Structure 1
Amino acid sequence: MNFSYSDKVKDLQGRLTSFMEEHVYPNERLYEQQLNEQENRWSDVPPIMEELKEKAKQAGLWNLFLPESDHGAGLTNSEYAPLCEIMGRSMIAPEVFNCGAPDTGNMEVLVRYGKEEHKEKWLKPLLAGEIRSCFSMTEPDVASSDATNIEARIERDGDEYVINGRKWWSSGAGDPRCKIAIVMGKTDPEANRHEQQSMILVPLDSPGVKIERMLPVFGYDHAPHGHAEITYENVRVPADNILWGEGKGFAIAQGRLGPGRIHHCMRLIGAAERALEILCKRVQDRVAFGKELSKQGVIQEWIADSRIEIEQARLLTLKAAYMMDTVGNKEAKAEIAMIKVVAPSMALRVMDKAIQALGGAGVSNDFPVAAQWANARTLRLADGPDEVHRAQIAKLELKKYK
């Protein structure tokens, strides 16, 4: 495996880093300020976000996540990894470049499984950053770590499907630009366990769709994006809105979550890098008990351990990306599971050390570390909890010796 970057990637890295330094980091606080100045944090998007998106488009730093060259930059997973890492350094950056979840995964689903009319109506405006989307899979009444537990129903009625169910953690549904949901539910409870589920496109303005509440994450509401609890009550959509076909929901979910998982890991590496950078700068600016914090042995251990853990996580992530590119997502499932366990825990450890070094400032919003920590902690659950991934890794390992 050769992890050196091509000239194309190095160029994009340089341009992306310059854009972050010139436009993104300086406007993080302005974004929050504009959001807080609104009468309703869910009613509109801070104007600075649309300004930054337009600048990113003009800079040619748009839709970098899509490997299909007709729609995106035509980058492989290995090529996208260092770019996604840079975006992960800021909570607002992924949206700036139209590379944020869950839109990335939803766009990939539409590219692969959407009909031409779906692509025209939903994919094109998503690629243009004109609308946003959500992914409705997780349910409050079942252990959704096992996707076969999903209880929402998608039932055929003539030329329509009728959707009934209760979902939560439908990220993005609070955004005023969110127009479409991909909903997972059961079309045939009597079918094979992994062929009972289907996915269907549901416009959020459909009668019977109700956003019950927005769910905070450790006190962060993540407005205007947010995470919604939604009820679908006798929601009717055209039968053509089914994706791929009945019984294909589980397969779509596995295909969608593979790239999604590795993107999360890439961003977490960037967030950890920024936390370590903040830590290193801070401990050289502070004196305690007669000497700089950076000269305290325990602090030096924190820095060394953090650098080691980041490098380990990055190399494993690059290996997974390489395998996805060369042998496919299915063959790379062990590596994808491994990085999904490793990256969030690594990022949490690095961020925790940065918070400790910052002292009281670390748990405030004066630095981005607390918000990044809260986000990283959710990723030990989202897209499959650690325990599920560990179980899969163990089964694959045991299989070698049967």
Structure 2
Amino acid sequence: MKRIIVLVNIFVTVSVAAQFNVSIEVPADFTPKEVYLYSLNGSKDILNSRETRKGNSWQIKVSKPYTGMMKLYFPEENISLNFISENKDVKMRLEVAKNKVSNVIYLDESNAKMNELQDIQQKKEYILPALYQIKEYYKGKENFGKALETEILRLSQGIGDMSKYPFVNFYQTNYANFVEKNPTRKSPTHDDIIKFLTNSNEMLETSSLLRPVLVSYLNIGPNTNLTSDIDKLLKAVNTETPRGQTVLSELIEVFDTYGMQDLKDKYLTEAKNLKCTINDRLAKTIETNKNTEIGARFPDYTFNRPSNTTAKSIHGVKADRKIIVFWSSTCSHCEAELPKIIEKYSSIKKQNWEVIALSLDSEKTAYENKVKSLPWINDTELRGWYSSYGETYNVHATPTYFVLDSANKIIAKPEHASDLITYLKLN
């Protein structure tokens, strides 16, 4: 299916000199040996360190001061989980069933509070509206009605004063103000969000609230003057500053994800034309898009576990044209589109063309069962959306298509299988 993801993760950097440890306890039968530790920049995970398991635990030392959300990733099982640090030691114990994490027990106070907060936020968004409706049928003295009122009150009030936890307080306040769907609260205006983006401290860049707040901004009003609204925002945050450039980078990627091609092209051009020093975040966005534009030479990729080929990489495949497909066995759109390409595959091969399908699957069995029916070159890292080619090739949705010539230059980027078939004149 076309996949659009807005992840809400959280962390905050601080300037106080300190370091802390992350301790992870696991059962003996949990098989992963390696873990990656990530921090965050806007909506991008940044690799902090890697650590090898010793006994039944990992002990990870974070050498630089850090407050906010971090992520653990176990590459051998494609498992990830989030936690927060208030620049203090973090301790957790993982409960496991069939080599998958079934529960995380947070043993430090900050993470326990954050876990409670997220539980309440989820229930407020998805359960609280239903509780209000059910309450009307259980008025009066019934025990069930009283229990409903107690739960409604608990969810409505949140978890109280969080001033002891700077990050949790920042996240709780601003998630409620700008992201949470709450019909009882006044929706933010463009000016409210601009004020937040321009006046927030460095927590904004690392809280992961940036992208969902920008999506909220874009969804305000009838969008009849969307370009003017965006220009107003970018002027306020100043694209010659690091913050303004991070906002611009996020917007370009939002437009790309939602298929808003005209807006993406407009603001990507503005980014390229900036005369000031460009921060790493925006530079990466510009580079990734440059590498996948029409006319660009498609970056090479060394195969990991290829089938139906003896070639070692994409560039090593000899063909007059190459059709690159990014897909997943869990993608409903792929289920509908890939059979259309299978129908034309004999015609594709007769013209010395080739299909190379790179999967964003994470489950080995699901991938192997599906790939049996795909006659072309297949490969996967079994890392889902953590796959390296997701960022390299600017893939935000599946299926995504590229057509390359014999020199591996991009000559087309069809939207759908039908567009691909039409472009190749295989109708």
Interval of TM-score (by shorter of Structure 1 and Structure 2): under 0.3
TM-score, structure 2 as length reference: 0.23
Determine which structure has more spread, i.e. the larger CA radius of gyration.
Answer: 2
TM-score by length of 1: 0.24
The structure whose residues are more often helix, as a share, is 1
